[in-house]
Structure 1
Amino acid sequence: MLPSHFAEWTPRHYAPPPSVRWFSRLRAAYSRVLFRFLRRRYFVVGGVLVLTMVAGAMIPIIGVDLFRGEKVSQFWVHVWMPFGTSLNYTDEVVTEIAKRVRATLKKDEVISIVSTAGLLQTESEWHVRSDAGQVAVELVPKDRRTRSTDEIIEELRRALADVVGPKSIEFFQTAGGLPVGKDIEARIMGEDFDELQTIAAYLESRLQGIEGIREIADDFSSSKREFRFEVDREAAAAYGLSARDIAYFLRAAVAGVEATTYREGTDEISVLVIFPERFRKNIELLTNIKFITPRGEAVPIARLVRMEEGMASPVIRHTDGKRTITVTADVDTDVLSLVDANRFVRDAFDEIAPLHPDCRLRLGGRFEEFTESFRSLTSLFLIGLFIIYCILGWQFGSFVLPVIIIFAIPFAFIGAIFGLLVIGEPFSITALYGMVALAGIAVNDSIVMMSFIKNARDRGVQRWLAVVRAGRIRLRPIILTSVTTAFGLLPMAVGLGGYSKDWGPLANTIVWGIIISTAGTLFVMPCLYTILDDIVNWFRRRLRGKAAEVE
């Protein structure tokens, strides 16, 4: 840029080279087009506003996948056995699944297959249980195999469909970026487990018939048999006993109580006093055990408690103090958008909600991250916009010029949306980052343009001459600045050396945003300045007219 400025502002004593003559013709053509735009400035600015609204309306068309990222060449097969399954049997089933996985995959597709019984890792928690297991599969990079990871998983679904033993087999594929949970994560909250199970079953049945939704499951653990003892407080009081005394006795009978400890070398060993196993496994024998009261009487436990047999979940999850069952599912975003899938879950819950007024639904996972991230980025964008306005107002000493400069941001937004449409990528978190970055990049050329116009007007130059001269003088640096920035990001945008779904959309939004915002700065920004100047002159004439009437 410095040689360009030097050549622009110093006297010439030589014949200009062809490149300079070419740019002179470009500048002349720009001046002619700018004059035409200025004559139709109201139509030009109105058209830009319409294009901005059209670009916003195109977001649903290009699709929204906020956490779209590069798929990692690795996936897990999650195996859930019926509750209480022994670790040995779980290990047998997981080993059989690992054998089928190895037999299904081609030798040149897989790097390693690791099976684990008793451990199941998810994004939210690790399950260390005898009835859970997993098979971790690492594939070769995608450019070295003919099938995609999704195609391999679909074939494995068919191969594992007839495995005997598991309650469910789920596939989990990792993606680049932050862990954000499942595509659909519907938390059903309430107090009655029967109601929660009914709603969960209804949602799962509704999701089964939707194309693009798969891996439907819930986190409700199978119920186990339990015995509940309710203390007969009147009978206990008659024998001088409290509920605490009876609870302590039952705990000691079933779980044992530490009587003492002794040392053997450096080890400290606890001595546990507990009833024989035959008493603990037989509820009739347990309730007939005699309790020695403070009076020295031997009273069977059955006289002091009322026993009730029932079923209970081994794990009770809570959200905001409410019992919770979470229904999860994966969404094929090529078939169904994440927003539409979660909207369907909400509609399905609203259908059954009147029958269960004490239950409510909270959508989590990727959708929750979507809404929170969008809200946070919107807030940051508005704060940044306000800071930019304050700095520009302080620098220019005007409240109007910063508004004109900030108007370059809609130009960038139009270009960013157009860029996503051209490359066929959905609106994602990285594209949103690019748009936020454009808010700072796009105003640079506008600042230079407005600064030249303001300085010329301060020197008394007529409005039209100041606008056209500013455009002509700043044409070369504005183009050079935009071209160098765009070309610097071009390899990432077009994927030279490999396209990244993580950073490609960010580069594309910036490149296209800069191109369109540059055109807006050169042609639309002068129109907007003259329109605001028309408005200011109109108010001045009105004020002068009123002042003349008063005189």
Structure 2
Amino acid sequence: QTIYDISGEPGLSVIVMKKADADIIDTVDKIAEYVKGVPKRYGDDVAVTTFNDMSRFTRLRLGVLTNNGLVGLVLVFISLILFLRPSVALTTTWGLPIVFFAGLTVLYLSGVTLNLISMMGFIMVLGMLVDDAIIIGENITWHMERGLDPLKAAAKGAVELIGPVTTTILTTIAAFLPLAFMTGMIGKFIIAIPIVVITLLVFSWAEAFFILPNHVADFTRANVHPGERRWLVWLENAYGRVLKVAMKLRWLTLILSFAVLIGSGWLAMTKMSFQLFPPFGVDQFLVRVTAPPGTSVYQMRKKLVEVDAEIRKRIKPEYLDATILKSGQISVDEGDPLTQRGGRFGQIRVLYLPAVARPGHEVLDDMRVIEAALAPLFPDLEIAYTEIKPGPPTGRSLEAEISSHDPQAAEQAARNLIKLLENTKGVTTVDSGLIEGDPQVLLRVNRVLATYAGIDLATIATHIRAAVGGLVVSTTRRGSEEIDLTIRYPDNPEKQMEMLREVLIPNARGGLIPLEKIARLVEEPGLTTIRHIDGIRVVNVIADVDNAQLTSLELNRMVQKKQAQWAGDKVQVNYGGEEEKNQESFKSLFVAFGFAVVGIFFILAMQFNNLGYPLIVMLAIPFGAVGVILSFYLHDLYWKPMPLSFFSTMGMVALTGVVVNSSLVLLVFVQRAIRDGMDRFEAIQLAGRRRLRAVLLTAATTVLGLLPTAYGWGGMDHFVSPMALALSWGLAFATLVTLFTIPAALGVAFDVTSLFGRLFKTKADSGQ
């Protein structure tokens, strides 16, 4: 039996599940409209309240997308107006809403809905959509600054870059496309992101080549040819001087760059933690209450109401959504293998309002305060706390499934593991399938005496079942209703043992034998969960950790290292939970990253018709990861805990396609200058100065487009923030690499090829 209370009042809980293609906002609005009419239908004594409204997250992310999109759009326009002519800046910015609405239309017709994941795709691509338009717009501006009229400048500026810009789009698509083929739960979870990003990128390419040049030609006055702005000329000259030094010291520049790369890798492996889905944005937690054996479900309900009252005292009412009390059962989620049922078990699910309604407030801080306060108030109860993380179900920090043909060996191994976990610093909660349930009576039959008395086990089982649960002996009718007639002993738990001993069992000879003559009744604590797989006894042990002290990876490694000590050789142990999902996600991401890198290399090779240039361009990829690692480490050190997570890692994968774009266009100009007869090192410096504005603009617009989401300027979404943070800071660092490390690396490559050229020429001249 299970009893529900809602925020301390008796009630029933109804969970509404929508169809896959239903609009969650529309569905919730209709439910809310129905709820308003309940008092009219059933009177004022019946109240209906809604809680755990999942549409609020969709509304929140729509608000975040809109607000941060507008902030990002303003910042993008400001950065464009600083570098380009006003008419070019305006027409370039126009491309963003055009692409967004065109992409939304196609996605709608394709059946892609606006949900948590697809909106993350929109936020991720926000700063990328104008990159190709910026490259073309900047090139058009450069030609106009040198005297061409707008129409000719628009045509020439677009045609010059159709190859490189198309390649930049293809490399970005190559980075995102493998994400659509990721396997497992995570692959299904993120499938909408690559679909959204690729669709919008295709539209941005079309807008940049077929709409932007026409707008520039139409809205720019032909008789006005302003020269370059003074501050921009000064910036290009200053950059040229620094680049000249970097090129002279190109070997040192490259060595220092790789030293930073190696150092950041060491930092990531030794000083930083990884959590699949960090507990940011947690808006609910579970309080699990266990009373002494023998507690009835009604007694548990009274206890839960008392515990709930103490919890509510320690939470600001304006932050709290509801508390859901369930007496008679404990389950973290629907698939919890350690679901506990019985009168002595109960739970309270504490639900908070969205983060925007409680700025700066952390749910886990409340949970720790409540945990410390309730322990001395309820010494007779075992109270445990579990945070409910946002995101897809990833399991607990440690999940061990212990199995053996010998049930006692499996149970002993589980007890040893529980003891090890309880003595491990950083482990907060330990659950297992060995939790004692209500008292049970075991009937141990003496088979020798039973056989001698002429009684088989089936006869004993039938009469015990009749004594405890009753026996249907006949039926009767009341109108059209058929009613069973059942005989049973009076329901008196205090005399149940005495009653069972006096049960008479008929034998094959027609006699009646007292049960106590052939069997022994033993009362002992029962188990709440007894699991078997293919007839083999299985015991589950599950643990949670405090990530500030211990990570799931460290716990799993420690437990597996000591397995021989606590498990022995008679049991088999399978591990699952968060760490298993971590490994699965990393493997899938690694495969996606590998395909992305290979795809990008082949696209670049076709663009350059050369295998050396693509390798130089792709140097930006690992250095983009350096920016992510350093930014997360510094944020963790000086701002708030910021571990590397699945979405920050996915941001790195997406970064592979973005960071190569500026390097690609830069090296295209170098290659063209060399083909025109210019000295190789002069070509590098000329191309660097020539592309400085475009490099800074593409980086600035992408970074500024993502920063509002990364830091929540238009509303914080902890789920999306790490991905935006990784993309923005990774690209910012990669821009420095594009401006200095890539030219130095190209210069070193020219040195090496010249050295080998002279070496082979010397050998040829000597006749070798």
Alignment TM-score, normalising by the size of structure 1: 0.83
1:492-540 CA-to-partner distances (Å, cap 9, x unmatched) read 2233134443222222221121121112112221222233334344444
Q: 1:549 & 1:145 partners in 2: Cα distance?
A: 78
Q: 2:393 & 2:725 partners in 1: Cα distance?
A: 24
What is aligned with 2:611? 399
Q: 1:118 & 1:80 partners in 2: Cα distance?
A: 10
What is aligned with 2:704? 487
Q: 1:225 aligned to 2:359?
A: no
1:442-467 CA-to-partner distances (Å, cap 9, x unmatched) read 11112212222333444454322332
- Given that residues 253 and 274 in structure 1 are in contact (C-alpha distance below 8 angstroms), is that contact kept between their aligned partners in structure 2? yes
Q: 2:725 & 2:315 partners in 1: Cα distance?
A: 36
What is aligned with 1:8? 142
Q: 1:69 & 1:393 partners in 2: Cα distance?
A: 43
Q: 1:390 & 1:259 partners in 2: Cα distance?
A: 81
What is aligned with 1:285? 502
Q: 2:351 & 2:521 partners in 1: Cα distance?
A: 50
1:512 to 714, 717, 729: 729
- Given that residues 500 and 515 in structure 2 are in contact (C-alpha distance below 8 angstroms), is that contact kept between their aligned partners in structure 1? no
Q: Could you tell me how far 1:491 is from its partner in structure 2?
A: 1.2
What is aligned with 2:232? 23
Q: 1:87 aligned to 2:284?
A: no
Q: 1:485 & 1:39 partners in 2: Cα distance?
A: 31
Q: Could you tell me how far 1:162 is from its partner in structure 2?
A: 4.2
Q: Could you tell me how far 1:73 is from its partner in structure 2?
A: 3.8
Q: Tell me: CA distance 1:524–1:260, structure 2 relative to 1, closer, same or farther (3 Å).
A: farther
What is aligned with 2:247? 38
Q: Tell me: CA distance 1:146–1:522, structure 2 relative to 1, closer, same or farther (3 Å).
A: closer
One-letter amino acid of the structure 2 residue matched with residue 512 of structure 1: W
Q: Could you tell me how far 1:55 is from its partner in structure 2?
A: 0.8
Q: Could you tell me how far 1:226 is from its partner in structure 2?
A: 4.0
- Given that residues 204 and 217 in structure 1 are in contact (C-alpha distance below 8 angstroms), is that contact kept between their aligned partners in structure 2? no
What is aligned with 2:374? 160
One-letter amino acid of the structure 1 residue matched with residue 540 of structure 2: I
Secondary structure of 2:233's partner?
A: helix
- Given that residues 253 and 280 in structure 1 are in contact (C-alpha distance below 8 angstroms), is that contact kept between their aligned partners in structure 2? no
Q: Tell me: CA distance 1:230–1:480, structure 2 relative to 1, closer, same or farther (3 Å).
A: same
Aligned ranges 1:257-406 → 2 under 5 Å: 264=478, 267-270=481-484, 282-286=499-503, 288-291=504-507, 293=508, 298=511, 300=513, 309=522, 311=524, 313-317=527-531, 323-331=538-546, 333-346=547-560, 349-350=562-563, 352-353=565-566, 356-359=568-571, 361-406=573-618
What is aligned with 2:325? 115
Q: 1:203 & 1:78 partners in 2: Cα distance?
A: 22
Q: Which moved more, 1:460-469 or 1:314-323?
A: 314-323
2:280 to 64, 70, 76: 70
Secondary structure of 2:423's partner?
A: helix
- Given that residues 69 and 177 in structure 1 are in contact (C-alpha distance below 8 angstroms), is that contact kept between their aligned partners in structure 2? no
- Given that residues 80 and 166 in structure 1 are in contact (C-alpha distance below 8 angstroms), is that contact kept between their aligned partners in structure 2? no
Q: How large is the Cα RMSD of the aligned pairs?
A: 3.9
Q: Which moved more, 1:137-146 or 1:191-200?
A: 137-146
- Given that residues 185 and 329 in structure 1 are in contact (C-alpha distance below 8 angstroms), is that contact kept between their aligned partners in structure 2? no
Q: 2:716 & 2:496 partners in 1: Cα distance?
A: 64
1:350-377 CA-to-partner distances (Å, cap 9, x unmatched) read 48337x3334555543333323222222
1:372-410 CA-to-partner distances (Å, cap 9, x unmatched) read 222222222112112222222333333332222221111
1:413 to 625, 628, 635: 625
Secondary structure of 2:229's partner?
A: helix
Q: Could you tell me how far 1:550 is from its partner in structure 2?
A: 5.7
Q: Which moved more, 1:165-174 or 1:276-285?
A: 276-285
One-letter amino acid of the structure 1 residue matched with residue 388 of structure 2: T
Identity fraction in percent: 26
Q: 1:147 & 1:487 partners in 2: Cα distance?
A: 27
Q: 2:537 & 2:247 partners in 1: Cα distance?
A: 64
Q: Tell me: CA distance 1:71–1:219, structure 2 relative to 1, closer, same or farther (3 Å).
A: farther
Residue ranges of structure 2 left out of the alignment (5+ in a row): 1-133, 149-222, 637-641
Q: Tell me: CA distance 1:87–1:420, structure 2 relative to 1, closer, same or farther (3 Å).
A: same
Q: 1:99 aligned to 2:309?
A: yes
Aligned ranges 1:467-478 → 2 under 5 Å: 467-478=684-695
Residue ranges of structure 1 left out of the alignment (5+ in a row): none
Q: 1:137 aligned to 2:346?
A: no
Q: Tell me: CA distance 1:329–1:22, structure 2 relative to 1, closer, same or farther (3 Å).
A: closer
What is aligned with 2:44? none
- Given that residues 236 and 304 in structure 1 are in contact (C-alpha distance below 8 angstroms), is that contact kept between their aligned partners in structure 2? no
Aligned ranges 1:394-543 → 2 under 5 Å: 394-424=606-636, 425-543=642-760
Q: 1:304 & 1:458 partners in 2: Cα distance?
A: 106
Q: Tell me: CA distance 1:233–1:422, structure 2 relative to 1, closer, same or farther (3 Å).
A: same
Q: 1:115 & 1:170 partners in 2: Cα distance?
A: 15
Secondary structure of 2:611's partner?
A: coil
- Given that residues 236 and 243 in structure 1 are in contact (C-alpha distance below 8 angstroms), is that contact kept between their aligned partners in structure 2? no
1:8-53 CA-to-partner distances (Å, cap 9, x unmatched) read 2244399975753332332233233223222222222222222111
One-letter amino acid of the structure 2 residue matched with residue 426 of structure 1: P
Secondary structure of 1:117's partner?
A: strand
- Given that residues 321 and 352 in structure 2 are in contact (C-alpha distance below 8 angstroms), is that contact kept between their aligned partners in structure 1? yes
1:403-434 CA-to-partner distances (Å, cap 9, x unmatched) read 22221111211111122133222222221121
Q: Could you tell me how far 1:121 is from its partner in structure 2?
A: 3.5
Q: 1:130 & 1:238 partners in 2: Cα distance?
A: 39
What is aligned with 2:384? 170
Q: Tell me: CA distance 1:154–1:301, structure 2 relative to 1, closer, same or farther (3 Å).
A: same
- Given that residues 235 and 303 in structure 1 are in contact (C-alpha distance below 8 angstroms), is that contact kept between their aligned partners in structure 2? no
Q: 2:700 & 2:652 partners in 1: Cα distance?
A: 18
- Given that residues 69 and 501 in structure 1 are in contact (C-alpha distance below 8 angstroms), is that contact kept between their aligned partners in structure 2? no
Secondary structure of 1:45's partner?
A: helix
Q: 2:511 & 2:726 partners in 1: Cα distance?
A: 83
One-letter amino acid of the structure 2 residue matched with residue 24 of structure 1: V
Q: 2:141 & 2:310 partners in 1: Cα distance?
A: 73
Q: Tell me: CA distance 1:96–1:4, structure 2 relative to 1, closer, same or farther (3 Å).
A: closer
- Given that residues 200 and 325 in structure 1 are in contact (C-alpha distance below 8 angstroms), is that contact kept between their aligned partners in structure 2? no
Q: Could you tell me how far 1:267 is from its partner in structure 2?
A: 4.4
- Given that residues 62 and 421 in structure 1 are in contact (C-alpha distance below 8 angstroms), is that contact kept between their aligned partners in structure 2? yes
Q: Which moved more, 1:106-115 or 1:78-87?
A: 106-115
Secondary structure of 2:275's partner?
A: coil
Q: Tell me: CA distance 1:454–1:427, structure 2 relative to 1, closer, same or farther (3 Å).
A: same
Alignment TM-score, normalising by the size of structure 2: 0.61
- Given that residues 262 and 270 in structure 1 are in contact (C-alpha distance below 8 angstroms), is that contact kept between their aligned partners in structure 2? yes
Q: Tell me: CA distance 1:15–1:68, structure 2 relative to 1, closer, same or farther (3 Å).
A: same
Secondary structure of 1:175's partner?
A: coil
Q: 2:459 & 2:436 partners in 1: Cα distance?
A: 32
Q: Could you tell me how far 1:326 is from its partner in structure 2?
A: 0.9
Q: Which moved more, 1:221-230 or 1:42-51?
A: 221-230
- Given that residues 414 and 541 in structure 2 are in contact (C-alpha distance below 8 angstroms), is that contact kept between their aligned partners in structure 1? no
Aligned residues: 540
- Given that residues 502 and 516 in structure 2 are in contact (C-alpha distance below 8 angstroms), is that contact kept between their aligned partners in structure 1? no
One-letter amino acid of the structure 2 residue matched with residue 33 of structure 1: V
Q: 1:260 & 1:547 partners in 2: Cα distance?
A: 111
Q: Could you tell me how far 1:435 is from its partner in structure 2?
A: 1.0
